[in-house]
Structure 1
Amino acid sequence: MMNKITRYSTIALVAITATFTGCKKLDEYNRNPTKPTETQPQYLLTGAQKSAMDVLYSGLQNGYIAMEYAQFWTGNSRTNDAQYQLDEGNNAALWNTLYSTALHNLDDLVKQNNSKASKTGIANQNAIALIMKAWIYQILADTYGNIPYSQAFQVTTNITPAYDDAQTIYKSLLDTLQQQITVMDEHQSSFNSGDIIYNGNVALWKKLAHSLMLRMAIRMADANPQLAQQIIEAHWQNALSSNADNAQFQYLNAAPNKFPYNDSEREISEFFVTSTLVDYMKSVQDPRLNIYARPSRNSDTIKGLAYGTSSSDKNRLPPNEYSFPGTQVYSATMPGILMSYSEVEFILAEAAARGWSVGDPATHYNNAVKASLEYWRTLAKADYTDADISAYLTRVPYNAADWRNVIGSQKWLSLYPQGFQAWFERTRLHFSKPGGSPLFIAPVSGSVDPKVTFVPYRLTYLISETTQNPNNYQAASKAIGGDTKGTKLWYNKF
């Protein structure tokens, strides 16, 4: 993606490490009278990018929560997570890291830059930071529902922020992205260093802003189809247009800059791939299967474990009979994917299937599937050919009468290992296998959460919020219909 990537281990250490709760002043955590009170914008950007990617691809958050809720993985010795017992420490770390490190870094970046707004490149720097903020806020809103937004960083005047309505946040984020597209000037500089995603390339950040608007629009397609159609029709031609445009954070094969969940220094045995994933990929002879999973220790074949199978289940075989995720997925240099060209094409395929003016749905669908296979072939140095990709497309053809299941199942496969995005799309699009037979199953050994039996729609708010920000917590809980994992988000219409 980038021709030149510098080491950023020392840069990342400048990220603010305050713990965000409703009743803590964020600016109190990063004061040291012997050190400068300002950090250079490029360091703040790196810290924000790395901290966000680290938590979104951590085994604790992506593994135990998102990859299991997407039904890509299921637990080996620790199985309650796939039975919907939420680890509150992992939940808190997700919220805290995104708010008090990533978002706080970006907020500081913009505030510092605003004091020197006449300097060349400042407008582009701020736009990049605000695009990053929009990406992170959408993840938070899609994970929890209503969240602190408009009052989140008013730390000197309000230490108990209200929770904004998630649908209102979406509209604000769309406005923000549109504004940054207008502000960004490709003839001006931006970041000369510190941007690990696009190396300061303003044109690519513009494309990403358009693409993030598409992601937000398609997520509201069943809740607000008129607005979704308007946004997609206005922005689709300026979005990511090839795998060369993919937005991703490139990790390095050197600590502490390795992919956050990798097996370069120790074997990782916490998760097996699910039979949901493996059996479906086998049924369509998907060439990515040998990348997504590895053979079990006791055979040369890939075997998934039925989702949500407890360690005491009498039908469960010994661990060596099941497959771990693939070596590329556990590589120290696995990129942290923010958004891909393949996802853009799946969005356009769905938009076209809904009758919106973005071109031919089958063409976009074929582009999306092809882009995903080509991406993984290059990344993992796989040996399947263009002919193999063409043959695969004939096995998973577009079907206008069954577009939700056809697009949904292939988009789900393409989002591996982006657990959060795959989970959001699973609950939003509500798809089955092409033809209508079920793809997903309820946890084999049952759910331990009486509020959710088949799939969680959200994570519950932090326990600390119930005591440190109780009034706003109660208001938010009531507004969304109850603080449970079974509560549907505003865009979940199925």
Structure 2
Amino acid sequence: MMNKLFKYSSIALVVSAMIFSGCKKLDEMNRDPTKPTTTQPQYLLTGAQKTAMDILYSGLQNGYIAMEYAQFWTGNSRTNDAQFQLDEGNNAALWNTLYSQSLHNLDDLIKQNNSKTDKTGVPNQNAIAMIMKAWLFQILADTYGNVPYSAAFNITTDITPAYDDAQTIYKSLVDSVEQQLTILDESQSSFNSGDIIYNGKVGLWKKLGHSLLLRLAIRMADANPQLAQQIIEKHYKDAFTGNIDNAQFTYLNAAPNKFPYNDSEREISEFFVTSTLTDYMKSVNDPRLNIFARPARNSDTIKGMPYGTSSSDPGRLTPNEYSFPGTQVYSATMPGILMTYSEVEFILAEAAARGWNVGDAKTHYENGVRASIDYWRLLAKADISDAAINDYLTRVPYNASDWRNVIGTQKWLSLYPQGFQAWFERTRLHFAKPGGAALFIKPVSGSVDPSVTMVPFRLTYLVSETTQNAENYTTAAQAIGGDKKGTQLWYNKY
């Protein structure tokens, strides 16, 4: 479908921007939706941010795909998704939205800025847009492998773009973000409106750029450790240093600006939390458990469903015996998380455990655990004391000889409900519980995909690509080792 991706994107981006016209955080937008070519950069940025967050936290994409592959959730009445049957409509919506709306808005933003005579604010605005593009292209590369990148927006000359090698994309993204960091200038103007994530604050965008470089680097830690070490050691001191730096999209308790998957207007019963999540959290008396999950109706206790249990499985209990995700996770004002300080600390803990010069692994690990719990207790207004956090750390201590499992498990918990990032880390780190006992299980009712036993490493390309971009699709599929969900990505080396 790449030859159709961009035809209507200009109209879509205006609609996305106009949705937020009633938000108190934004200036009023008296825009003519019939004239998308006059859309201003701040509206393009709003549209890019909102469409990206809406799709990444939708129940169809985050819920049925990412949260299930991360093994946080499992289906209630619809269970084949947890058994690795991919809904092609949901898959196509993810790809098309990120390309034709989010990324295309950012591409248009930069092109419009470059055509201006008055360049006031343009360098900072373009750099912010480029950092956002790097974030989205990494998600696409981590979801599919090789994807259209260098020719993705050459729509006047190439409507069937080739797919770039994912590892090459990574290196390009590193170069791009590093370049933007040299451009961002806090003494110059930026976005006066339209930036829902950081309100145009250049210093915070710089911190995010450094932090995203850490994320890019740690993904390649087993595939290219020398480059990963170089990037992390270069940038870690300028990354996030507290939860106040977190990059997240603020939703409002008013339609249509609510968190995309919330139960403020109807009960959501599509998913249960998994016993993988709840049993482990219970075993260590995790103070976040009552935030991540709510009590089952019949027992008033938290009980997860074994992952991948079909509706016909004889061992399955009635729905009222299992726990739904927590009320905060389904809140209309749940923020769309791009990246948090806790993730930065777990990246640095892993880097230190690998012997890289970033400080003490135990300190970074404990900082990561504290940051995650503190984030959730403030967001959910939970009664979790500092003493309770200290006690928790004694139950989940850092162990240098078991760092992959110790860090991996806590990082996984900290990424809830960022399904995509948690899934990517699950496949990259291949961690178990601290001590080595298995954390994840196979789908109880079995996999329906012969290429996958435990977890997909990627999503398959869109069905439409096999006909509308057939030559490039075939080349890409062969290059990665086959267009299957069981095909490992280039960084899955451990």
Q: What is the TM-score of this pair, normalised by structure 1?
A: 0.95
Distance of 2:265 and 2:52 partners within structure 1: 23
2:318 match: 318
Distance of 1:480 and 1:316 partners within structure 2: 38
1:348 match: 348
1:154 match: 154
Does residue 105 (structure 1) correspond to residue 105 (structure 2)? The answer is yes
Over aligned residues, Cα RMSD in angstroms? 1.2
Does residue 26 (structure 1) correspond to residue 2 (structure 2)? The answer is no
SS class of match (1:150): coil
2:457 match: 457
Superposed counterparts of 1:51-130, under 5 Å: 51-116=51-116, 118-130=118-130
Give how far 1:25 is off. Answer: 6.6
1:413-459 deviation per Cα after TM superposition (whole angstroms, max 9, x unaligned): 00000000000000000000000000000000000000111100000
8 Å CA contact 2:240–2:246 kept in 1: the answer is yes
Give how far 1:467 is off. Answer: 0.4
Distance of 2:319 and 2:34 partners within structure 1: 53
Give how far 1:205 is off. Answer: 0.1
8 Å CA contact 2:109–2:126 kept in 1: the answer is yes
Distance of 1:25 and 1:425 partners within structure 2: 29
Distance of 2:291 and 2:193 partners within structure 1: 33
8 Å CA contact 2:10–2:36 kept in 1: the answer is no
2:335 match: 335
Distance of 2:224 and 2:10 partners within structure 1: 41
Residue identity matched to 1:120 = T
Distance of 2:130 and 2:412 partners within structure 1: 28
1:438 match: 438
Residue identity matched to 1:176 = S
2:134 match: 134
Would the alpha carbon gap of residues 413 and 106 (structure 1) be closer, same or farther in structure 2, given more than 3 Å must change?
same
SS class of match (2:272): strand
1:427 match: 427
8 Å CA contact 1:27–1:155 kept in 2: the answer is no
2:229 match: 229
SS class of match (1:37): helix
Superposed counterparts of 1:360-375, under 5 Å: 360-375=360-375
Distance of 1:43 and 1:424 partners within structure 2: 31
8 Å CA contact 1:25–1:155 kept in 2: the answer is no
Residue identity matched to 2:260 = P
Distance of 1:201 and 1:30 partners within structure 2: 26
Would the alpha carbon gap of residues 33 and 368 (structure 1) be closer, same or farther in structure 2, given more than 3 Å must change?
closer
1:165-217 deviation per Cα after TM superposition (whole angstroms, max 9, x unaligned): 00000000000100000000000110000000000000000000000000000
1:3 match: none
Does residue 195 (structure 1) correspond to residue 195 (structure 2)? The answer is yes
Residue identity matched to 2:169 = I
Distance of 2:8 and 2:287 partners within structure 1: 52
Distance of 2:215 and 2:54 partners within structure 1: 22
Would the alpha carbon gap of residues 34 and 348 (structure 1) be closer, same or farther in structure 2, given more than 3 Å must change?
closer
1:459-483 deviation per Cα after TM superposition (whole angstroms, max 9, x unaligned): 0000000000000000000000000
Distance of 2:340 and 2:71 partners within structure 1: 21
8 Å CA contact 2:457–2:487 kept in 1: the answer is yes
SS class of match (1:447): coil
8 Å CA contact 2:10–2:105 kept in 1: the answer is no
8 Å CA contact 1:117–1:123 kept in 2: the answer is no
Distance of 1:434 and 1:117 partners within structure 2: 58
Does residue 45 (structure 1) correspond to residue 48 (structure 2)? The answer is no
1:35 match: 35
Would the alpha carbon gap of residues 197 and 36 (structure 1) be closer, same or farther in structure 2, given more than 3 Å must change?
closer
1:9 match: none
Would the alpha carbon gap of residues 388 and 178 (structure 1) be closer, same or farther in structure 2, given more than 3 Å must change?
same
Residue identity matched to 2:487 = T
Does residue 303 (structure 1) correspond to residue 283 (structure 2)? The answer is no
Distance of 2:320 and 2:261 partners within structure 1: 21
Distance of 2:240 and 2:35 partners within structure 1: 41
Distance of 1:346 and 1:36 partners within structure 2: 42
Q: What is the TM-score of this pair, normalised by structure 2?
A: 0.95
Distance of 2:130 and 2:117 partners within structure 1: 15
8 Å CA contact 1:236–1:358 kept in 2: the answer is yes
Would the alpha carbon gap of residues 348 and 117 (structure 1) be closer, same or farther in structure 2, given more than 3 Å must change?
farther
Distance of 1:440 and 1:51 partners within structure 2: 32
1:123-152 deviation per Cα after TM superposition (whole angstroms, max 9, x unaligned): 000000000000000000000000000000
1:8 match: none
Runs of at least 5 residues in structure 2 that lack an aligned partner in the other structure: 12-31
Residue identity matched to 2:209 = A
Give how far 1:24 is off. Answer: 2.4
Residue identity matched to 1:428 = R
Give how far 1:23 is off. Answer: 1.9
Residue identity matched to 1:251 = Y
- What's the % identity of the aligned pairs? 80
2:277 match: 277
Residue identity matched to 2:373 = L
Would the alpha carbon gap of residues 401 and 157 (structure 1) be closer, same or farther in structure 2, given more than 3 Å must change?
same
1:91-111 deviation per Cα after TM superposition (whole angstroms, max 9, x unaligned): 000000000000000000000
